[in-house]
Amino acid sequence: MVGCEDKQALEKTQPHFDCIGGKTIDCGGPGAGSVTKLCNNLALAAQMIGICEALNLGDSLGVDPVVLANVINSSTAKCWSCEANNPHPDVAMAKGGKTPSAKDYEGGFGTGLMLKDLSLALSAGSEAGVSLPLGSTSKELYKLANAHGLGSKDFGVMLQFLRGK
């Protein structure tokens, strides 16, 4: 996600971006890349919390988390947080054990980093006069998880935090 006024400058720096990631998206003028990243992570935070709540409820009511994840991933709630970075360890192990939830939430995008991005997004929203109620609630949940020592764990650790573990 890049913001740049000059398309030639973007073309010139493209090889450097290619070293960092697999895809570069021109988001508009200066600063637009940062804003786009914050907006993406704002949505991602709420998305992960929703998946964690659904998996927690399903577990509590006796539904196999692998079955529930398969249903979600083939239905209207399909999303990256359930499909690619599922926060449930059983689902992660069933998919080969490569995601952070299979490794005690080590690696991945840290809860503390998500909290930082949510704080920045909420600050930007406040400055722009935009209401972000889900963002605010997400921030409070990640703030609590961070305060309980989970800041370095992948943000999918929210599943365990919601369970009181």
| Same domain assignment for residues 22 and 54 | no
Alpha-carbon distance of 110 to 43, in angstroms, equals 16
Query: Are both 88 and 138 inside the same structural domain?
Result: yes
What range does the domain containing 102 cover?
39-162
Is 82 in the same domain as 49?
A: yes
pLDDT value at position 12? Answer: 79
Q: What is the per-residue pLDDT across 134-155, written as a single tens digit (0 to 9) for each?
A: 999 999 999 999 999 999 999 9
Residue 23: both structure tokens together: 């895809």
Beta bridge mates, 28 = 3
The arithmetic mean of pLDDT across residues 2-13, rounded, is 76
Give the residue numbers annotated as catalytic, written as ranges.
37
Q: In this structure, are 111 and 74 located in the same domain? A: yes
Q: How many CB atoms lie within 10 A of CB 75?
A: 9
- DSSP annotation of 110 reads B
Is the same domain home to 92 and 128? Answer: yes
Helix (H) or strand (E) holding 123: helix 111-128
Judge if 73 and 151 occupy the same domain.
Answer: yes
Do 113 and 93 share a domain, yes or no?
yes
Q: Do 71 and 151 sit in the same domain of this protein?
A: yes
User: Tens of pLDDT along 56-90?
Assistant: 999 999 999 999 999 999 999 999 999 999 999 99
Mean pLDDT value of segment 101-120: 97
Mean pLDDT for 99-107 is 97
Give the DSSP letter of residue 164.
T
Clarify whether residues 1 and 52 are in a common domain: no
Distance (Å, rounded) from C-alpha 78 to C-alpha 148?
29
pTM of the full structure = 0.90
Q: Are residues 20 and 47 in the same domain?
A: no
The enclosing H or E element of 45 equals helix 32-60
Confidence band of 20 (pLDDT split at 50, 70, 90): confident
Per-residue model confidence (pLDDT) at position 27: 64
Same domain, 44 and 9: no
Task: Identify whether residues 136 and 68 lie together within a single domain.
Answer: yes
Q: How many domains does the chain have?
A: 2
CATH number at residue 157: 1.10.1040.10
